[in-house]
Chains A and B, each alone.
Chain A
Amino acid sequence: MTTGTTGTADEAPLLGPESQFRAFFDDPRWALAIIRATVLEAAHPQIGAALADNSTFVAHPWRRLRNTFLSMRRMLDADPAVREREAARLNRLHARMSGSDSRGRAYDAMDRATRAWVVATLYESAVTMCRLSGQPLDQDTMEHVYAEYRAFLAALDGDAGELPEDLNDFWRYFDRVVEDELENTEAARIILYRLFDHLPAPALLDGAPTLWAVGRAVVGPLLGSITVASLPEPYRRRAGLPEMPGATTLMQGAYLAAGLTRFLPEGWVNAETIIEALSLSPDSDDPRARTVTALRARMKRASALLRLLTPSSGGTGTEPVPAAPTATGEGRRSAEEFFRQVLDQTGDGHLDWPDLAAMARELATRLDLDEPEETRLYDAFAAWWRELQAALDTDGDGRVSADEYAAAVPSLAGHALIRVAEVLFDATDKDGSGTIDADEYRALFRTAFHRDLTTTDGTYGRSAFVGDFLSFMSGRRRNTPYDPVLTDA
């Protein structure tokens, strides 16, 4: 995969911090537009299949959002070297994704036409977002933005040949794909109807599950209908999406309201600050964490009051008493919890290779790995997957169900898992000193050394590292530094 064209003199200024592309990031309308664009992507059969198989957006949407955001920011960096490196990383990441959908049609995340469609939906959603909020782009801006998006595709794919050069042809291309190729895929349905109704709380709001659930119950269906109403009519017809009375007005109102934030003082709405704040967990040593902790205490109180005021479900009848979660004891989680929170990264109820690949992807992203370390990490995870499959897949369907996992109550700490721990240690130990120092530790866990960590002279040795990783993965210990890495939504 070549990325040479990004460096050419006349394309370089198209991307970068000053671009229109970048300016949309802090626009609240962009949040609605990106949901819409994601549905249009997921409606493409190839992308839909890839998402359903590989993506962590159902189980870990906030982590996914943050990673995507950071990646986009790097793609728009002023420094072409940063952009090229990120493009290469994204290409490596996508090259690892291929397979076939439920009807046996092959997909490949490197398919050029498909990747062009992703960029097309982003561009079209940006234009539509401006139109729907009553501030349409003029023809010149529209063409300029189009050139920026083509440059973005070229940065990824080497050239933008899959997207028409002329904007007029683009609209014909877009309408044709919408009418001929899009389907009512499972991934699109999940985004429209399941994702927002079941969206787990981000780390920041994790302590207030009731509050989150109440807010979600109101906002989830709203976001769904707003998105449906903003989709192109031909697609709505083909996918059999409902026409809700008033949904169009609601959708336009939402875009209009989001657009009004442009009158807020500059800097008030900053996507990066918001996303970073959402991923803050209260035990982090970030200076903002103290405010967050105070805020969480108030939210916890509000949630407690809310729970106490909600009419009790059981009334005076005999209430079923499920196995108390406290019975499993502090510091350990049940096999089922561990399966759901850690192992099943894609949230489809099964453990298979994409789940472990997602773990490898998250770790590689955090450590900002280059080749060949990245491949070593993936290989170690692949070996662990073979070990798990051999040990746990009792019905031979190629994947491990939650039941199979619980039935085996596996020790999980086989040779391959130890190997994963060692490879991870080597990858984390960037300077090869044989110990992990504070900076290396922070790269992986985004926090300083924990007080209770078995550190000697402010470093973290190989055996302690391997031991902690194994106890997280097999001993199912809670409250390890790995929890925010692999468990947080």
Chain B
Amino acid sequence: MHAQATGGRPVGRQYGDQQRQDDGPALAVPRHVACVMDGNGRWAQRRSLPRTAGHRAAESTVIDIIEAARAAGVEWLSLYAFSTENWNRPGTEVDYLMRLVRRVVRKHAPLLLARGIRCRFLGAADPRIPRELAQDFDDLTTLTAGNLGMTLTVAFDHGGRRDIVEAARSLIRNEIPADDVTERLFADHLPFPDTPDVDLVIRTSGEQRISNFMLWQVAYAEWVFPEAHWPDFRAPDFLACLHAYRHRDRRFGGVPPQTNGDPS
């Protein structure tokens, strides 16, 4: 029911409360890592290249990080590829991005399948997304739906507030009485309700903003802000971020650890 209410997205593994609380704060490897892939444009400008060259250079980092995360034992990896606000960029850049993403998706589909990575696309609802690209998203999702390795969530045309609004709509559509709505239930109505809380967010290029990214899920996340621009960010940098995370003292503001809903 919830899957339909949130737009028929596939529902994956459900993490029960019990399991959430068993995982203590002392986890060596964060379960869910999210990357805000920032700095492509500045990387290109610094080299006197067009902004589009920066996006193209981002491709190898994406593949590098996916491999690194999988090898390090990260179970959930989320990449912020395109926000709802990015539609405001110049038309040519948006067009270029759409074609680039399509090429990347098609090029790496067999690799993702072979590595046992489950792929899905968060957002991706705007009619401005070319039909062919939407088809490729669907195909990649279908193709890898049965994979049991790492889950890769690509936030494309994503907005954290919009997801929360969607969840509210879904609750209202399902005529859930106001008193029954708990954090836990609310989270179940978000797109991809199986997604656990984000443990670590990496935002490259030194910018320190949230930018409307997975607002609900990053509630208790640790943030690191490496100075490297995304195209320069590589597997060793990623491992350094995981190392920094290990030395953080996560307190969750006193609530039980890694809660994605009602703490009671």
Q: In the complex, what residues of A have CB within 8 A of residue B130's CB?
A: 319, 321
Q: How far is the CA of A200 from the CA of B166 in the complex (A)?
A: 38
A308-B143 contact, Cβ under 8 Å, with A319-B132, A321-B131, A327-B127: yes
Q: How far is the CA of A301 from the CA of B110 in the complex (A)?
A: 12
- A316 and B131 within 8 A (CB): no
User: Separation in Å of the B136 CB from the closest CB of chain A?
Assistant: 6
Residues of B99-148 at the interface with A, using a CB-CB cut-off of 8 Å, are 99, 102-103, 105-106, 109-110, 113, 127, 130-132, 134-136, 138-140, 142-143, 145-146
- Say whether A372 faces chain B, with CB atoms less than 8 Å apart: no
Closest to B135 in A: A307
**Which among A301, A308, A309, A324 is the interface contact of B131 at CB below 8 angstroms?**
A324
Closest to A317 in B: B99
Number of A-B contacts (CB under 8 A): 50
- Say whether B95 faces chain A, with CB atoms less than 8 Å apart: yes
A290-301: CB near B (< 8 Å → 1, else 0) gives 000000000011
User: Separation in Å of the B8 CB from the closest CB of chain A?
Assistant: 9
The number of residues on chain A lying at the interface, defined by a beta carbon within 8 Å of a beta carbon of chain B, is 19
Q: In the complex, what residues of B have CB within 8 A of residue A314's CB?
A: 132
Interface centre among B106, B131, B136, B138 (most CB of A within 10 A): B131
Closest to B113 in A: A305
**Which among A304, A319, A327 is the interface contact of B139 at CB below 8 angstroms?**
A304
**Which among A301, A312, A316, A319 is the interface contact of B106 at CB below 8 angstroms?**
A312
User: Separation in Å of the A189 CB from the closest CB of chain B?
Assistant: 34
- A308 and B146 within 8 A (CB): no
Residues of A273-331 at the interface with B, using a CB-CB cut-off of 8 Å, are 300-301, 303-305, 307-309, 312, 314, 316, 318-319, 321-322, 324-327
A460-476: CB near B (< 8 Å → 1, else 0) gives 00000000000000000
- B142 and A301 within 8 A (CB): yes
Q: How far is the CA of A314 from the CA of B106 in the complex (A)?
A: 13
A304-B132 contact, Cβ under 8 Å, with A316-B99, A326-B127: no
Can you list 18 A-B contacts (CB < 8 A)?
Answer: A301-B142, A301-B143, A301-B146, A304-B138, A304-B139, A304-B140, A304-B143, A305-B109, A305-B113, A305-B139, A307-B135, A307-B136, A308-B136, A308-B140, A312-B132, A321-B131, A324-B134, A326-B127
Interface residues of B (CB under 8 A from A): 95, 99, 102-103, 105-106, 109-110, 113, 127, 130-132, 134-136, 138-140, 142-143, 145-146
